[in-house]
Amino acid sequence: MKHLEVCSQTKFHWQPAELVNALLSRPCRNVIRHWIRHEHFLGADNEPRLLRAYGDKENGFDRLVYQCDSLLSPAVVRNELLRKGVVELTEDDRIMLRRSAYVPEQAVVHLFHGADGARHARAY
Domains of the chain listed by start with CATH number: 14-123 (1.10.10)
Ranges 9-18, 32-41, 105-114: which has the least confidence:
105-114
pTM for the whole thing? 0.75
> Which residues, other chains included, contact 25 with Cβ-Cβ below 8 Å and sequence gap of 6+?
80
Q: Would the pLDDT of 17 be above 70?
A: yes
- On the question of pLDDT at 37 being above 50, the answer is yes
The pLDDT value given to residue 3: 41
The answer to whether residues 27 and 72 touch, using CB atoms and an 8 Å cutoff, is yes
Mean pLDDT for 98-117 is 71
Go through the chain and tell me how many residues it has: 124
Are 87 and 23 spatial neighbours (Cβ–Cβ below 8 Å)? Answer: no
14 pairs with which residues across the strands? 104
